[in-house]
Every structure is written in C-alpha cells, then in structure tokens.
Chains A and B, each alone.
Chain A
Amino acid sequence: MSLIEIDDLVVEFRTPRGTVRALAGATLHASAGERIAIVGESGSGKSTIGTAIGALLPANGGFAGGTVRVDGVDVGTLDRPGLRRLRRETLGFIPQDPIATLNPTMRVGGQLALVVRDLGGDASRAALAQLLEEVQIADPADVLRRFPHQLSGGMAQRVAIAIAMARRPRILIADEPTAALDANVRREVLKLVFEAAEQTGATVVWLSHDLDAVAKWCRRVAVMYRGRIVEDGPTASVLEAPEHPYTQSLLAAMPSRLRRGVEVRTYTEMLASQAGEPDDAEVGA
C-alpha cells in the first residue's frame, strides 16, 4: 500500500458557463518518503490534484469519480472531524503566495503561537524563535514581531514552511512554492523544503512549472496534461527520452534547452496544426 493513492480521479467545477472537468481520470501513487514533482502547463490540473489530497477543493468543485486514498483511507468518505484529523496529522501545505495565506491583522509570532498551541506544543518566545531559526531566518525575534505585509516574499515563505513543518506532516504538498520569489531566493527556499522533508521523512508532492529545478530535486516526475497524468517515471528517463508527445513539447520549451535552438511550440499548438482544427475550450485555460 502506498501512502498516497490517487486512482482515476475525476474532479469537476460548476461554473456559470457549465461544468469544467479539471481532472479527467488522474492516477498517481506515491510511497512514504518519496519526492515527486508534478509538472504541466497552466490549467492542466496540478493545483486541483494537490488540493484533492486534502479534500480541499474550492466550494464549487467536487469529486465526480475515482478515489483519493491517504494511508489507505478514502478521503472522499471522511466526515468533517475525520477530514480535520487528516489535515492536522498527516498533511502540510506550502502555498504559492505565502503573504496572502498569513492573517494580515496578526503578528507572525501570534500566528505561529496559535499553530503550535493547537498542537499542544511549547509556544514560548524562545521556542517560536527556534522554529524560525530552523527555516534559516537570521533575526527571528524581529520577524516574530512583524505583520505579514512587512515581510519579504522569501521571508514569508520561510514562515509558511515553519508553520507547515511545525506539525511534522507525513505528506508535504508544495504548490509552486517559489512562483512569487526571485531566482536566488527560489533556490534557497527549495533547498529548505527538501531538507526539511528529508529530516522528517515526509513525502513531498511538488507542483511545478520549472523542469530545470525538478531535474535537480526530484528523482521522480509526473507530467500532467488536460487533467490526466500522461507520463510518470524517473526524472532522468522522462527528461532524456520522453514518451508522450506533450512531454516532448514541454521539454522543448525548457529554458536550459532553448539555447540549443530547438523550435518552441506548445503541445496544443502542435496538435492544432496537425489536425487543422481549433482546440476545444472545455478543459484547460
């Protein structure tokens, strides 16, 4: 039994313009301690699959088929207290926009204290400062006193990581955690995420656009396209010898390969020019 088992998962959103199928039979298994990157173009369903693991879909969305199992438990069948327990004890989320996920009216120290106290831990100033030191914040006492809007993006992301890791989650889901950061901060934050996961043995599910960084940090990569996992395997072989045509086009658009003069076209453009018909707009955005 794997820690995460997603089988033929279908997720639909109700919108004023009809039903949008964000996941169309996605299958992905991950075992304890594994680091897996999910890559795919915008709208392919990465965020949806990430939130589905905690049954945290937006209110207008729902499971329409398939199952998500975490540690053998079907999250679709859990009641509210059961879901809360799953989220508290097993999952940790690292957000894309860390400043927005912090309460703007409360100092960093206050928010950390709430989280720690909720877990029955030590919420003394010293203990909180220690938590911030673990995520390499140089002046924890100062950061504890700040409000979220007084933090830089990198600093806020470190705080978010500290909050997520305070619960020692067995599964860490990071949805483009570096999208809002500049290049060198990006590297540091990724290092932090993977080192923290290494220490606690957490499984990492990293949703990303950045194939170069994926090649560096994950031994396994899954490629999403239009709500399905279309390719899944060791990063080296997927990147060297992609089987699915979409993966090939994705690779061709990699910044590190652009220099080699490979023509850049998205897969959708490629399909459209082959079939000579417009792309149906139902899935993808």
Chain B
Amino acid sequence: MQTLRWVGRRLLMGLVTLLGIALLVFFAARLVPGQAASVLLGPLATQEQRDALTAELGLDRDLFTQFGIWIGKVVTGDFGDSIISGQPVLDEIALRLPVTATLALMALGIALLVGVPLGVLQALRARRRGGAVGSRVISGLGISVPEFVLGALVVLLFSTVPLGITIGAFTAISDDLWLGLVSSLLPALVLSVFCAAATARTTRDAVLGVLVEPWIQAAVGRGERPWAIVRHHVLRNASIPILTLAATLLAYLLGGAVIVEGLFNVPGVGSYMLLAMDRRDYAVIQAAVMLAAVVFVVMSVLVELASNLIDPRVSTMGATT
C-alpha cells in the first residue's frame, strides 16, 4: 500500500518533469533557424505558397497556441504527423525503435560486462602504489575520447581494411537475426566505450567507498577470501550508484545515439532525428526527445524501487518528500 502510494507520487512528479521537458523541447526546436515551409518547398517557391503551407501546418499561430494544441494532443497519445512523410510520428518512430533498442541494449550490455569488473579491479588495486595505472588510463581515455572521433576511426579502419564486416549495409534484426546482430555490433562497440569507461569509474568509486566499511574489516578478520568478500559484501552494497548510472545510460542510448547512428548508417531513432532537425520536422524532434524523457523518468522510478530492495535502510518510500 505504502509502496503503491509512493509509486503514484513518483509518477506524478515524473509527469511534472515531463511537462517541463515538453516546454523546453517545443521552444528549443523552434529556435533552429529556418522555416519548415521554406525547407519543404525549396528556394523557388513563392511567398504565397509558403504562407499557405505554413497556415496548413498551423505554424502561423503564436507559439503558445501551438504549444497548447500540441500538448493537448500529446496527452491523448497523438504526437502529430511528420511534416515530411505525413505519417503519424509515433508510427515512424516505432518503425526505427527496434534498431536503436538493439543497439542500446548491446552497448549497455558490453559496458556493464567490461566496466563493472574493471572498476572492481581498479578499486581493489587502488591501495597498492601505482596500482591499476594501466586500466585507469584506459578508462580515462574512454571517457574523454569523443564518439565521433572513435566512430570515424572505426569506420575508416573497417572500410579500408577488409575484415569481413561491411559498413553502411545495415541489416535489421527483424530481417535476419544473425546479420542484424553483426551489423549492430560495431556501432554498439563504439557506443559502449564511453559507457564502459563511465561504468568503470562509478564502480571503482562505489567499491572504494564500501571497502572501508566495518563489515568488510570484519570479513577480512574472519579470514574470508577477497573474491568471496567482493561477491557477498561489496557488490550488492556498491550496486546502487552503478544501477543509477546504467539507467541514465540506457535512457541516453534509447534517445538515439545521433552521432554513431549517423556515422554507421544505422536507420534508428538517432539518424531519424538528425534528418528531422535538418528538415525542421518539429513533430518528430519533439516526439523523439519526449520518448527519451519518458524512458528516463520511468527508469529513475525503477532504479529507486530497486534501491529500496537492495539496501533496506534506504527507505525513501516512507519519506514524505
């Protein structure tokens, strides 16, 4: 009962957050210079033609009225039609979401598989002098190298050196499971580098924080093996910040990895958004960002629920705030 009330309260807070994001997105999208009508009709169109199209799209009314109309439809689940294709935006996104979701889950999976053990190792070695310098340099690099640099390098490498993987010919999972996975692998790897480095760093800090706790000293005093101590008395206690990070990363990845999808020709939400921005297809931009925001809000409620399960002392559910 208490849990239900808590979830209700959190979802309400989430809705408020989403409304704020909706406002931001709506106005930010319209800050992009250039008008939809000009982009659509090209430079040779007459002013009358442009005005007619603008009126047809409802873009001649003032921004607040436009926002009101949009948000009124959004709450009923209607994100409007794409200006370009005329299709409902949600259908267009739903078409591309599986590709992006595959990519996101693969990248996150790789990041956790690599980042968590790396972080634990770094924490265990941190107290020795010069411990884990190598892996710290690697994760430092991973965090700071921009995706477009790394991505471009990988694209260059694989398009000049024939390694059996074709870049640019993307196969969807729904068409061919195996080929789909293979063609997602490279972009997922590129995406996972930053995520893995961030995971390693968060894990390291969290584990270091737990290692000085009295129950760890007690386990050492009982002569337990280091890996047994890590497994039973460290990982679970360190997992809350790691989970929080993973949820943030997933929301970020699902929102569409714009740069990497563009570089690898992946027909996902990210490249769709890039196209939409290029063509001032406001409805699409708004819907894609809202999608990421919804994922984020839902994930953070889930993470908080999980935290309450992981550490019984973290009883945020009982708190009135």
Instruction: Show the binding face of A for B, using Cβ within 8 Å.
Output: 54, 56, 59, 83-89, 91, 93, 95, 97, 100-106, 114-115, 118, 147, 149, 163, 167
Contact = CB atoms under 8 A, between A and B. Distances in A.
A104 to B, nearest CB: 6
B236 A106 contact: yes
29 contacts: A54-B221, A56-B220, A59-B127, A84-B223, A84-B224, A85-B223, A86-B223, A88-B223, A91-B221, A91-B223, A93-B221, A93-B222, A95-B214, A97-B214, A100-B214, A100-B215, A101-B217, A102-B215, A102-B218, A103-B232, A103-B233, A104-B312, A105-B237, A105-B310, A106-B233, A114-B232, A115-B222, A147-B312, A149-B313
Interface string B198-227: 000000000000000111011011111100
B311 interface: yes
Contacts of B225: 84
Contact of A101 (B218, B223, B224, B311): B218
B228 interface: yes
A103 B237 contact: yes
A105 B217 contact: no
Contacts of B311: 104-105
Nearest to A86: B223
Interface string B239-275: 0000000000000000000000000000000000000
A221 to B, nearest CB: 25
Contacts of B218: 93, 95, 101-102
A83 B214 CA distance: 19
A147 B224 CA distance: 21
Interface in B124-139: 127
Nearest to A163: B222
In this complex, which of B217, B236, B310 has the most chain A Cβ atoms within 10 angstroms of its Cβ?
Answer: B217
A93 B313 CA distance: 26
Contacts of A89: 223
Interface of B is mostly: helix
A118 B221 contact: no
Contact of B236 (A54, A84, A105): A105
Contacts of A167: 222
Contacts of A91: 221, 223
Q: In which size bucket is the chain B interface?
A: 20 to 34
A68 B127 CA distance: 25
A101 B222 contact: no
A147 B314 CA distance: 12
A83 B224 CA distance: 10
Contacts of B236: 105-106
Q: For the complex of A and B, list the 4 residue pairs with the smallest distance between their C-beta atoms, beginning with the closest.
A: A87-B223, A88-B223, A101-B218, A100-B214
A84 B220 CA distance: 8
A83 B223 contact: yes
A106 B310 CA distance: 9
Given A83-B223, A86-B223, A118 B228 contact: yes
B312 A103 contact: no
Contacts of A115: 222
Nearest to A164: B222
Contacts of B220: 56, 87
Contacts of A118: 222, 224, 228
Contact of B215 (A88, A93, A103): A103
A59 B233 CA distance: 19
A83 B226 CA distance: 12
Contacts of A95: 214, 218
A267 B134 CA distance: 53
Nearest to B239: A105
A83 B222 CA distance: 10
Contacts of A84: 223-225
A118 B233 CA distance: 14
Contacts of B313: 104, 147, 149
Contacts of A97: 214
Contacts of A105: 236-237, 310-312
A173 B308 CA distance: 35
B216 to A, nearest CB: 9
Nearest to B235: A105
Most buried by A among B127, B215, B224: B215
A87 B221 contact: yes
Given A97-B214, A103-B232, A88 B222 contact: yes
Most buried by B among A59, A86, A88, A103: A103
A108 B233 CA distance: 13
A104 B237 contact: yes
A71 B215 CA distance: 27
